[in-house]
Structure 1
Amino acid sequence: MHESPPSDSTGRSSRFFADDDVFNQRHPHPRAAPDSAQLVTGLLALGRVEVRTGEASPVVYRATPSTPTYAVTPRKHLGPWGANPFEGVGFPWDASWKAPPERQWTVVITPDGRSLECWRAQVRDGKPSCEWGAVSHTRGSSVSAKGQATGSGLSRLAGLITRADWKAGHIDHALSFGTPDNNGQYVFPAVTSDGKGQGRWREGQFIWLDRAYDIDADTSLTPYERVIAKALQEYGAFDVKNSEQFTFVSEYGSKPPGTKEDYASLEHVKFAKYLRVGTIAPTS
C-alpha cells in the first residue's frame, strides 16, 4: 500500500515541510520576469499540460518504528555525485512493499520525519538498494539535507500532489514542475541546477496564474482542473528539474477524481492567457 500523510482534524490536506517553508507559503508579490510572456509561450509549446500519476511519479511509503531497516550504499555515481547520502541512516523497508518500475523514485518517510529518496530502488533477498538518492526532512526545509533528488537540490516531495490533497478537494501548498529549457543558473529556492543549455529558464523560477482569472466562473474546467488552477493561483509552482514536458506530479497511483489515465490533461486551464513567470525573494 502506498501511503501519504493523512488530513488533519480541520479537514485540510496534510503537507510536507515546516509551515514557513517556501512551498507552504502564499507569495502575493512575486517579481514578474521581463520576458514572462516569451517564457510562457515556450513552455506551452512543449505540448499538452498534464498531471502525471503513473510511472513518472514517486512511490511514497511511510515506515513505522517496527519496519526493518537496512544499510544502503548507492549502486552508482558515488564519486561524481558526492558522498553517500544514506551513510549512517537506517533505510526502512517492509517486505510487503514493492520496488517501482526501473526509472522511478521511491520515497520512504521514517517515523522521525526524514524523507529517504531513492532513485531506481531494487530489492534482492529482501534487502533494498538505490542507484542514488537524497535525505530530506519533512518537518524542516524542502531543500535536501544530503544528496540530490532533483536538479534544483529540492526534495522529491516538494510540490508533490498527494492522495490527501485529492481527497480534500484542494491543495494547500505550491506545486513543482520541470522544463527542458533550463540553463545552468538557479534562483531561490533552488540551491543548484543540472541545466546545461542556453535556455531562458533558471531552476527555482516561479509560475502562477494571474488573479484576474476567475476560476470559479470558468465552466469549462473539470473538478480536478479547478483544484490545480486554484493551487497555482494561491500558491504557484517552482521549476525544480529538467523535464521533457511541462507537467505537474501526483504521487504514484493517486489519480485525480474522475480520471483513469496516468496522465490527466489540463487542457481547459487558461494557461496561455493567465500564466505568469517570475521569481520570489527569500524571507529574512
Structure 2
Amino acid sequence: MWHADVSHLPVAARSAQWLARMSPQRHLHPDFGPSYGAQPVPYGIPVSVVSGRHAKVTVSFRYAAESDRVAYPLGRDTQIEGGAAAPGDRHAVVVDAATCRLYETWDTRLVHGRWSAGSGAMWDLRSDALRPDGWTSADAAGLPILPGLLRYDEVRAGHVDHAVRFTTDVTDRAHVWPARHDAGSVSDPRFPPMGARFRLKVGYPLTGLRPDTRAVLQAMKTYGLILADNGSPWYVGGIADARWPSGMLDELKALPASAFEAVDESSLMRSPGSGRVR
C-alpha cells in the first residue's frame, strides 16, 4: 500500500469537500528537523534497531483490547519521540533486524521500572496483513508508522518510493482501506476519514527547487500522503535525524495545502485485510 502508484487514480468524489475543511490556506509542515528550545533530541520520530537478542518486556496498555499482547524489545536504549521526558505523542518505533518485526507504541513511558503505553502494535515486515478491522495501532488509523516516515538517506539519494504519513485536526468517525481504525471528532463525511490518500497535483512545478525537495515532492505526486493520525493540519512525518537540511525544510514549508487533491484508492484493494495492492 505504501509503495502503490496513485498518480493515475481518479480524484475522490469528496476531494473538494475534504480539502475545504483541512485548512487549505495553510502550508505543508515537515514534522521533523533540527531541535529547538529545550528538546534534547532531533525533531521527528526516532527509530531504534535492535538484534534478536535484545531483552523484551511486558507493556501495560491503556487500550489493551486493541493492542498486541506480546513482549516488546524496549529498554533504556529505546528512543522515545521528543526525548524521555517529552510531552506529546511519545512514539517508540523499534525494529528487530533479526526477525524482521516492527514494534510501535504510543504514549510510551518507563516509570519505576515498568513500561506502559497508550497502545501498541507488532508488525511482521514480511507480511501484507493488516490489523483486525476496528483496531488502533500506535497511530489512530491502525497503520504502521515506520513505512510512512521520510528518511534522510533516501531523500539525500533522490529516491523516495513510498507514501508519507500525515495528520490533520478534524476527521470523520470513519476509516477507509487501508486504515483499520478511526478516532474522529465529528460524524460528517465532508471531513476526511482515516486512511484517506492525497497526492500533489501533477501540474505542480518542481523546477528551481533543491534536488532533495524535488525527491520528496515527486513521491507526493506518485505515492501521495496517507492520513494516519489526528494532529496539526498538514504535518508530514519524518525520522528524527540531526542531518535534515534547513534549506529543504524551508522549501517544503512553502508548499500550499491547496496543491493537493484526494484520490479514490479503492480500486487498489485486493482484500480488506491485506495491504497488498492490485
Would you say same fold, with TM above 0.5? yes
Say whether the 8 Å CA contact 1:49–1:265 is kept in structure 2: no
Aligned to 1:275: 260
1:57 to 31, 44, 53: 44
Pick the aligned partner of 2:139 from 150, 157, 161: 150
SS of equivalent to 1:166: helix
**Alpha-carbon distance, 1:40 to partner:** 3.1
How many angstroms does 1:232 deviate by? Answer: 0.7
Counterpart amino acid of residue 93 in structure 2:
V
Q: 1:208 and 1:83, CA in 2 relative to 1: closer, same or farther beyond 3 A? A: closer
Alpha-carbon distance in 2 for matches of 1:283, 1:235: 15
The Cα shift of 1:152 comes to 1.4
The aligned residue for residue 225 of structure 1 is 213
- 8 Å CA contact 1:50–1:265 kept in 2: the answer is no
Q: 2:92 aligns with which of 95, 98, 106?
A: 106
* TM norm structure 2: 0.77
Match of 1:117 among 104, 111, 123: 104
Q: 1:93 to 1:192 in 2, by over 3 A?
A: closer
Worse-matched range after superposition: 128-137 or 183-192: 128-137
Question: Is the counterpart of residue 200 in structure 1 residue 188 in structure 2?
Answer: no
SS of the residue corresponding to residue 69 of structure 1 reads coil
Which residue does 2:233 correspond to in 1?
245
| 1:248 partner amino acid | V
Name the CA distance, whole Å, in 2 between partners of 1:276 and 1:84.
Answer: 33
Structure 1 residue 155: Cα displacement:
1.1
Q: Percent identity?
A: 20
Shift of 1:131: 3.6
Aligned partners of 2:28 and 2:255 also within 8 Å: no
**Contact 1:25–1:173, Cα closer than 8 Å, also in 2:** yes
Structure 1 counterpart of 2:161: 172
Q: Residue deviations 1:203-254, cap 9 Å, x none? A: 2111112223342xx21x3444322211111111111221222111101235
Q: Quick one: distance in 1 between partners of 2:260 and 2:101?
A: 34
Q: Is the 8 A contact 1:207 1:236 kept in 2?
A: yes
How many residues are paired up? 251
1:70 to 50, 57, 72: 57
| Matching residue of 2:72 | 91
Give the Cα separation in 1 of the matches to 2:202 and 2:79.
43
Partner SS for 1:67: coil
Gaps of 5+ in 2: 34-38, 271-278
Change in Cα spacing, 1:129 to 1:280, as seen in structure 2 (3 Å) is same
Distance 1:94 1:230, change over 3 A: same
Shift of 1:129: 3.7
TM-score, normalised on structure 1? 0.76
Residue 148 of structure 1 aligns to a residue whose secondary structure is coil
Amino acid at match of 1:105: H
Unmatched runs of 5 consecutive residues or more in structure 1:
1-21
Specify which structure has the higher proportion of strand.
1
Look up the SS of the partner of 2:22 in the other structure: helix
